[in-house]
Amino acid sequence: MSADNAYAVELKGVTFKRGSRSIFNNVDIRIPRGKVTGIMGPSGCGKTTLLRLMGAQLRPSKGEVWVNGQNLPKLSRSDLFDARKHMGVLFQSGALFTDLDVFENVAFPLRVHTELPEEMIRDIVLLKLQAVGLRGAIELMPDELSGGMKRRVALARAIALDPQILMYDEPFVGQDPIAMGVLVRLIRLLNDALGITSIVVSHDLAETASIADYIYVVGDGQVLGQGTPDELMSSDDPRIRQFMTGDPDGPVPYHFPAPDYRADLLGKRR
């Protein structure tokens, strides 16, 4: 068992490599149970990779990934299948099945993971769609939905099995302000009312800071900082400050490394 039951997810000394390139080096992250935890950092820093490590879609090169008291990389395939029933994921793209209508998209995990009779599947699908405000859309196909509606249907599907842990991968990307506001409210509501542990991976600072109880800032293959949104806002660390204030230049340079400008323009031509 994991050392501390106060944490739903614990990454202990996790290193992850793609080929010889390190994406994460000896990272420790603890996600408190029942809270909304933000994982933030610039695009391309490996936030989604972290989520995939937590869901055991990826195996760490080194270290332990504890979820609900189980070290996922050590589980058998069938135990991992069971463990994943307690984890919901809202994918960045929504990832709805384009050839299934809204009802069947939400019913899908219930059909795969349970033996509930059809009338109970229908009840639960309607309950989940009512929670996200889209019960009236059951017969629509994904291509008939707006981007915000797709995200909400995907959320209904992610909570179909009443997960203990819900992971959101860039939930606010490409959403208009109204859809964003709806998602922010839903994430908080589901977390608080259902006692879910929420992990929000995002680079949208304002929205994430408005709902997160605690935030990890990642970059350069490590945890750059952690704390409440207020603590991070007042951080003295220049790397955190640059991210939290959105400065174009700082420890993360504006310019991609390049040869001397003068030499490039006035020197010998390539």
Partner 1 sequence: MSEAAVRMSDVDELLLSGELNYRTGPDLRKEGQALIKSSKAASLVIDCSAVVKSSSVGLSLLLCFMRDAKAAGKAVSIRAMPEDMREIAQVSELTELLT
Residues of the shown chain interacting with partner 1 in the complex, contacts defined by CB under 8 A:
85, 110, 113-117, 119-120, 123-124, 127-128, 130-131, 161-162, 189-190, 193-195
Output 40 or 183, the one with its CB closest to partner 1. Answer: 183
Residue 61: CB minimum distance to partner 1, A: 35
Q: How far is the CB of 116 from partner 1 (least distance, A)?
A: 6
Q: Which is nearer to partner 1, 52 or 86 (by Cβ)? A: 86
Rounded to the nearest whole angstrom, what is the least distance from the CB of residue 36 to partner 1 in the complex?
A: 16
Residue closer to partner 1, measured from CB, 58 or 134: 134
DSSP string, the chain: --S-TTEEEEEEEEEEEETTEEEEEEEEEEEETTSEEEEE--TTSSHHHHHHHHTTSS--SEEEEEETTEEGGGS-HHHHHHHHTTEEEE-TT----TTS-HHHHHHHHHHHH----HHHHHHHHHHHHHHTT-GGGTT--GGGS-HHHHHHHHHHHHTTT--SEEEEESTTTT--HHHHHHHHHHHHHHHHHHT-EEEEEES-HHHHHHH-SEEEEEETTEEEEEE-HHHHHT---HHHHHHHHT-SSSSS-SSPP-S-HHHHHHS---
Q: How far is the CB of 168 from partner 1 (least distance, A)?
A: 17
Kindly tell me which of 52 and 122 has the beta carbon lying closer to partner 1: 122
Of 188 and 241, the one with the shorter C-beta distance to partner 1 is: 188
**Closest distance to partner 1 from the beta carbon of 166 (Å):** 13
